[in-house]
Copies of this chain bind each other. A is one copy, B any other.
Amino acid sequence: MKLLVIGTLAFDSVETPHDRRERAIGGSATYFAHAAASFGPVRVVGVVGTDFPEPALASFHARGIDTEGVEVVEGESFYWAARYEADWNTRHTLETRLNVFADFDPKVPESYRDAEFVFLANSEPKVQMKALDQCTKPKLVVADTMNLWIEHALDDLKALMKRVDGLVLNDEEARMLTGNSNLIQAAAQILEMGPNFVVLKKGEHGAFLVARDHRFAVPAYPVEEVIDPTGAGDAFAGGFMGHIAATGNADPATLRRAMLYGTVTASHSVQGFSVDELEKLDPRGIERRYADLHAFVAV
C-alpha cells in the first residue's frame, strides 16, 4: 500500500451547539491520514509552522503515518475557526488564517515518489498539480476541491481534472461546477471533464459514486450523536482511498466497498472533536462498523 496525501495540517477552533474546542489538531491531510492509517501506512505532504506540537506529529508516527513530507517552516500553522448551527448543516467560518500555508510549495520527498495511490486533498489546483507532477508512478489519483477554486481557479481545476481518475466533492460544489441542479446530470457532466469517477458527498444523506458504466449509493452511517462534523469529508476520503490502496485496485466492486469504508471512517470522525475518534480506531473497529453498515444497506 503506497498511499500519499497532500493537504493541510492545521489548528481548528470549533464551536458546536453543545461544546467547543480551541486550537485542536485538524486539516484535510490530518483527517485523511488518520482515517487511512487503519488500512495501512500513509505518507503525508504538507506544511506546518514551528507552533505545530510535537505530540501531534508523534501520534501520526504511532499510527504508521510518515511525515517526512511535512515541511516545518518558521511561523504559524494554518488556523481555521468555525461555528455550527443546531441543524449541523449550516456552518459559519469565523476565521481562516493561511499562515505558512499561504506560500506552500509542495515537495514530495524522494522516498514518496513511487506512491501508487495519491489523494490531492482540497487546496489550490495549481498546488495539487505541482504535487502530482512529482509523483512518478501514480496508479490512481483522486482529488478533492471546493467552491473557492471553482469560482477563482476554474481553468487550473479543469486542467487538473484531466489528470485525475476520481474527483470527490460535495453536492453543492457539483452543482456549482456544472451549473446543473440535478446531481445525476451534474455527475455525468463532470465525467465529461476528465475523471473516470466522481464521488458526491451529501453529508448526513450519504454519498453517490458515479462512474462511466456503474453507479452506487450509500447512506450515511446512522450515528446516535454527532459531536463535530469537521473533517468528515476528508475522513471519508481516507477510508475510501485506504481501502483501495490496501486492495491494490479500483475495480467497481472495490470502489463500492471503498464507499462503505469511507462512510465508516467518516462516521467515527464525527463522533468526536478533531481526530480523537480516528486515532483510537483499528482494523477490528473498522470491520465491526463495516459489518453493521453492510447490514444497514444489504437487500
A binding-site residues for B, Cβ under 8 Å = 86-87, 181-185, 202, 205-206, 208, 214-219, 222-226, 256-257, 260, 294-299
Contact = CB atoms under 8 A, between A and B. Distances in A.
Q: How many copies does the complex hold?
A: 2
Given A87-B181, A181-B87, A205-B202, A296 B215 contact: yes
A219 B222 contact: no
A41 to B, nearest CB: 26
Contact of A86 (B86, B181, B184): B181
A299 B222 contact: no
A215 B222 contact: yes
A297 B296 contact: no
A224 B180 CA distance: 12
A216 B294 contact: no
A40 to B, nearest CB: 21
Contacts of A182: 224-226
Contacts of A205: 202, 205-206
A216 B297 CA distance: 6
B299 A224 contact: no
Given A181-B86, A181-B87, A219-B206, A298 B296 contact: no
Contact of A216 (B87, B185, B260, B296): B296
